[in-house]
Amino acid sequence: MTTYPWLSTLWLLPVVGAVVVLALPATRRVLARGVALTFSLAALVVAVVLAARFDPGGEQYQFVESHEWIPSFGAGYTLGLDGIALVLVLLTAALMPLLILAGWHDDRAAGSGRRVAHTYMALILLVEAMVLVSFVALDILLFYVFFEAMLIPMYFLIGGFGPRTTDVQLRQQRSRAAVKFLLYNLFGGLIMLAAVIGLYVVTARDGLGANGAGTFDFRTVVAAANSGALGAGPAVLNALFLGFMFAFAVKAPLWPLHTWLPDAAVAATPSSAVLMMAVVDKVGTFGMLRYCLLLFPDASGTYAPLVITLAVIGIVYGALLAIGQTDVMRLIAYTSISHFGFIILGIFAMTSQGQTGATLYMINHGISTAALFLIAGFLVSRRGTRVIAEYGGVQKVAPVLAGTFLIAGLATLSLPGLAPFVSEFLVLIGTFTRYQVAAIVAVSALVLAAVYVLWLYQRMMTGPVKKGNENLYDLVPRELAVVAPLIAALLFLGLYPKPVLDFIDPAVSQTLTTIGRHDPAPTVPAPEAGAANLQEGGHK
């Protein structure tokens, strides 16, 4: 029986939308935006259908589609969805309509070209399509192609559609930031390409593909890696792991490979920056969880202490630098470096709580960062400056904007009752059971986060209204339509994360079972042992 190709439909809808947008007459700017929004909503509907039809207790990979692509290389068009990929697909599909609405007029920043709006919307849809393929690909070469391809539209979104400015120096900084983003990620991709080729050579030598050739089939390689059928020695597998890990660490980004992120986030429009930090960068952490751990379980265990050390440094480093920023958008960008450190920490703790928390953190970080960055972007577009010192008293002239900014900021510092708290708590608990020192040091970021969020709110929103802020106006209906769902999601998932965890938990359990990892046994003495010790002490 032929099943409907839901996953192909999911990612092809944005592609078709991009083509339709580009085919529209140059004068139909509003229509181009409307068409882009319509196709993004259609992709969201498909994602919701996938979630409704997904069986958390069923097969690990569902809605599988498999067709020949390059048979001579053992590469196929193979798609499939597990619980971890599903929640990231839902995040991507849910954020895209909001980002299109938030960036409704962002194309004006690129000038008065006749097809600027069409190009801008088409690029956003193409990024969405490539990210979706990356989440559902079950072929390593297919994943790599789209992992790299998404850099091109993202590069043009950063370099060609930044915030409006007539300052030549700022335009040059935008171009440099776009080039820096591209070069960093391309270099990481080249290292990964060498690892992909190396892995194929290993599978060819072991005859894992058809007719004794190699294969890029993810499930086949994972089965071989975890059964001992992958004949490469530890040194080769360690090198291949490092090739994959380096590319994902650049994309995520992990300290010290993070330096492209603050520049790119400030250079891009708020919508494009959120697309990069909340959606595109999640492909990096997703890649660590799926490809690094499952393809190279032993190497992942070998390098886990090093990765955890780098993650903890990134957590503290990002928070400290956020405190010292004078640019509100750059401050928020540095908070993301700290948050990505938490995600990577949970992944490489290799405990059920840690990896569940890390996956949930990907979702919650996407929502909270989108809310905070977009609201700050709305404010900056009104005032025309990113300098924190230029603000003050905003809550008196724009109370709804200030109130939603506060909620988003409190979510960023993981206040109990808001979504990021649950995920951060799970990461810390899961890490503490195996790496106590790392968890203790990471906890310090909670205090630092309170400092940078509350101090930021105090400087920008409270006190007397500073000169130049008197005419700031509150959120308009289009902006409320963007912010309200994000705030609602932060509150809902903070109080009731179970619907998302129901998808994540079985997938995490399957991952840990596949790589042969188990949660550490409790170290608390058994009641009998405790009683015996007490009796012995009493006799003495």
At 25 the three-state DSSP class reads: coil
Phi, psi (rounded to 5 degrees) for 59 = -60, 150
Q: Residue 539: its pLDDT value, please?
A: 47
Check whether 540 has a pLDDT greater than 50. Answer: no
- Split at pLDDT 50, 70, 90, the class of 408 is very high
> Comparing C-alpha atoms, which of 437, 432, 407 is closest to residue 420?
407
Check whether 439 has a pLDDT greater than 80. Answer: yes
The tokens for 93 are 């599909």
> Comparing C-alpha atoms, which of 85, 193, 212, 198 is closest to residue 149?
193
Convert the pLDDT of each residue in 71-113 to its tens digit. 877 788 999 999 999 999 999 999 999 999 988 877 655 544 5
Check whether 211 has a pLDDT greater than 90. Answer: no
What are the residues whose beta carbons fall under 8 Å from the beta carbon of 369, sequence distance 6 or more? Answer: 274, 277, 278, 332, 335, 336, 339, 412
User: What average pLDDT does range 179-192 have in this prediction?
Assistant: 91
Gap between the Cα atoms of 264 and 219, Å rounded: 35
Q: Residue 342: its pLDDT value, please?
A: 93
In terms of average pLDDT, the best of 2-6, 109-113, 308-312 is 308-312
Are 245 and 288 a contacting pair, CB within 8 Å?
yes
Least reliable range by pLDDT among 160-164, 383-387, 465-469: 160-164
Q: Residue 314: its pLDDT value, please?
A: 93
What percent of the chain has pLDDT above 90?
50
Q: Residue 447: its pLDDT value, please?
A: 87
Q: Residue 1: its pLDDT value, please?
A: 39
Q: Residue 464: its pLDDT value, please?
A: 87
Gap between the Cα atoms of 460 and 104, Å rounded: 25
Are 387 and 331 a contacting pair, CB within 8 Å?
no
Average per-residue pLDDT for the chain? 87
Q: Residue 532: its pLDDT value, please?
A: 47
Check whether 529 has a pLDDT greater than 60. Answer: no
Least reliable range by pLDDT among 204-218, 366-380, 421-435, 456-470: 204-218
Q: What is the pTM of this model?
A: 0.89
Check whether 537 has a pLDDT greater than 60. Answer: no
Sign of CA dihedral 176, 177, 179, 184: positive
Q: Which residue has the higher pLDDT, 233 or 405?
A: 405
Collect contacts of 450-457 with beta carbons under 8 A, ≥24 apart: 450/413, 451/323, 452/319, 452/322, 452/323, 452/325, 452/331, 452/335, 453/409, 453/410, 453/412, 453/413, 454/409, 454/413, 455/323, 456/328, 456/331, 456/388, 456/409, 457/405, 457/406, 457/409
Convert the pLDDT of each residue in 414-438 to its tens digit. 889 999 999 999 999 999 988 889 9
The tokens for 457 are 């709110």
Q: Residue 162: its pLDDT value, please?
A: 66
3 Rama class: left (phi>0) / alpha (psi -120 to 50) / beta: beta
User: What average pLDDT does range 443-448 have in this prediction?
Assistant: 87
User: What average pLDDT does range 456-463 have in this prediction?
Assistant: 89
Q: Residue 312: its pLDDT value, please?
A: 94
- Split at pLDDT 50, 70, 90, the class of 383 is confident
| Boundaries of every domain in the chain | 296-523
Gap between the Cα atoms of 341 and 222, Å rounded: 26
Q: Residue 118: its pLDDT value, please?
A: 85
Check whether 16 has a pLDDT greater than 80. Answer: yes
Convert the pLDDT of each residue in 118-170 to its tens digit. 888 999 999 999 999 999 999 999 999 999 999 999 998 888 776 555 555 66
